Amino acid sequence: MKWSWQLPKWPNYIYDINRLEGFERQFLTASGAFSGVFRCLDAQEQEQLEVQLLSEEAVNTSAIEGEYLNRGSLQSSIRREMGLAGDKPHSTPAEQGIAEMMLDAYRGFGHTLSHKALHNWHKMLTKGRKDLEFVGQYREHSEPMLIVSGGRHAPTVHFEAPPSNELKTKMSDFITWFNDSAPKGAHPMPALLRAGIAHLYFETIHPFEDGNGRIGRAIGVKALSQSLGQSTLIALSYIIENNKKDYYKALQTTNCSLEIDQWLEYFAQTVLKAQAHTQTHIEFLIKKAKFFDSIKQDINERQRKVLLRIFREGVDGFEGGLSAENYISISKASRATATRDLQHLVKIQALSKTGERRYTRYFLNLG
């Protein structure tokens, strides 16, 4: 059995471009609609959306690889990287590093890809890691890079990446292809086609000791942004993390073949779902503005602080709802004051209430 990169014509992938035409149209239409609504937000709302989506993507792209980070710490790290005021919780090196990488990829989407840029991303991504031999450079191990599952004594090998001594050539070819296929490159490609191939091509080479999935997804989003000519807040990793099995299954169809229609269709559908999720964040911000406008005369500063904290959790809010203990912790109010505050918020229909006694939970009432 030969892996895809061992086939004579790799990386000349085989695909039917016509199968993506409808997806490409939907992508451009949805992108235009998002851009129009985004411009209607004020500067503060735009910043809030950027922080929410970039932190959510950082959490999810890490979770795909089995690394679970704190969203609150990530939001604060991203705000600091953006030069915005905010609280300063103690972020871990991993949270600081992924925040730096996500923002660099977001702001620098238009820059040409280079070995240096990828090495810098890897340095950011692996900040604080002591277990890696090669940080900020391609792997140089003599042993093969294997993607495996199963027990230690009977592992299943899903894929073997190219050996280290071939990486410099293969990565140079990849970077040349990526830059040539850009909108202003020598051989421009449609947005979804280019992004789908870019992610797959990079993952096949698997050049780093660790972090290839996170960097590969960032490359895919970079390709989409370049095709649109602007940064895109697409929730790609959010959609992938919600059904990782489909993601890995789609990638595995290309392990030993150059035919990638199945992968490209999966990737295109995932991008469109990610766009729809991003749109829900826009709608959420608009509802937030209307929400506070309708109750601003009826709430005190404690209540406002707690409501803002709930909104910071994003579209999904607090998992399981807001409890009285949450309210006390955020507002620093006494239990009696918290009870009165919550009862008032229910009365003015800012919150809805479920359960009784210690099982009581509160949820935003956005209508």
* Structural domain span for residue 175: 4-283
Distance CA 188, CA 254 (A): 23
Nearest to 56 by CA among 315, 271, 286: 315
130 and 182, same structural domain? yes
| Residue 292 belongs to some domain of the structure | no
319 and 182, same structural domain? no
Last residue of a domain, one of 254, 283, 312: 283
**Is-contact 144 160, C-beta < 8 A?**
yes
Amino acid at 11: P
pLDDT attached to residue 130: 93
pLDDT in tens, 325-339: 999 999 999 999 999
Q: Are strands 156-160 and 351-354 parallel, antiparallel or unpaired?
A: unpaired
pTM for the model stands at 0.86
pLDDT attached to residue 259: 98
| Residue 271 belongs to some domain of the structure | yes
Q: DSSP letter for 362, please.
A: E
| Residue 307 belongs to some domain of the structure | yes
What are the per-10-residue average pLDDT scores of the chain (367 residues)?
95 98 97 90 88 93 94 89 74 94 97 98 96 96 85 78 97 98 98 98 98 98 97 95 96 97 98 94 86 94 94 80 95 96 96 93 89
- Cis before 144 (ω within 30): no
343 and 194, same structural domain? no
| Residue 350 belongs to some domain of the structure | yes
CATH number of the CATH domain containing 186: 1.10.3290.10
Distance CA 36, CA 54 (A): 20
Three-class secondary structure of residue 241 per DSSP: helix
pLDDT attached to residue 39: 87
Distance CA 268, CA 220 (A): 11
Distance CA 178, CA 164 (A): 21
Work out how many domains the chain is built from and give that number.
2
Distance CA 68, CA 213 (A): 15
Distance CA 20, CA 227 (A): 15
